[in-house]
Amino acid sequence: MNPSAVVNSVSKPLRSSCCVHAVVSDLPSLLRLHQSVVKQDSHVPDEVLYGRMGYLYSLVFVNKQFGQEKIPMQYIQQICDSVIVSGESLSMKSRYQEKSPLMYEWFQEQYVGAAHGLAGIYYFLMQPGFVVSQDKLVGLVKPSVDFLCQLKFPSGNYPPCIGDTRDLLVHWCHGAPGVIYMLIQAYKMFGIDQYLSDAVQCGEVIWQRGLLKKGYGLCHGAGGNAYGFLALYKLTQDAKYLYRACKFAEWCLDYGKHGCRTPDTPSSLFEGMAGTIYFLADLLQPMKSKFPAFEL
């Protein structure tokens, strides 16, 4: 497989309106899930991959792609409210109220990272389009973000879950490559320089330790880690981060030459080549903007 050829052949169709309409053509089915998602006794988790935040993102995605309110804002508001209530409840139950007013868990583990944990949930709660009130942002979300920031290892990396002292994983799902987005969003939202400083430190962790033998995908691979550089570049316009994204892209383009393990689903979005292709496609835009003659 030649990833360079693939990305050029699929990047436009992936973003075409016909594909978007195909994905969201059955809105009634999507909306029928709403009642079970917002109920506190439905046992729906709050995290991104399988829970309320993932569902919430799908609704916002629909509105964004259509440029209009296909999904009523009250649906989005109700899910945000449900996530807040759930986080307050677990914080009280686990006696974290004074440390973190919002606490979440996945299979009885209080994960930190973007996929199943606090960083992914806090990131989405800070999105302007998710209509969390200013009072809740300042009184609940910000102190929870600050608590997570205190979990940082001296290296700049983050543990996979609260209480884990092993500085091992540098993944989007568990580690600095996922936490970086929460930090960038917190900086945008509250304007506190420490969030930016911590995000930059995450970028250094990714640069030093982010080429993974687990593969090329988004969840725990080099493609997902490289997105952190694009996020820093968009925020700072520092060409260093664009360069680093390109270097990771070069590594991904040498597909199969690094002794990486073959994932269970080698063509999938989160584990396999589909995720790498998305990263390469998203790298094209800033590179073309800065270097018009750029070719992948």
Tokens for 139?
């009184």
Q: Is residue 116 marked as binding? A: no
Q: Is residue 43 marked as binding? A: no
Nearest to 91 by CA among 147, 43, 15, 37: 147
Q: Is residue 260 marked as binding? A: no
Contact 157, 176 (CB under 8 A): yes
Buried (b) or exposed (e) across 198-218, using 16+ Cβ within 10 A? bbbbbbebbbebbbbebbbbb
Give the DSSP per-residue string, 212-246: -TT-SSSSSSHHHHHHHHHHHHHHH--HHHHHHHH
Nearest to 91 by CA among 63, 110, 75: 110
Tokens for 232?
């820093």
Tokens for 99?
């440390």
Distance between start and end Cα atoms, the chain: 15
Binding residues for Zn(2+): 173, 219-220
Binding positions: 173, 219-220
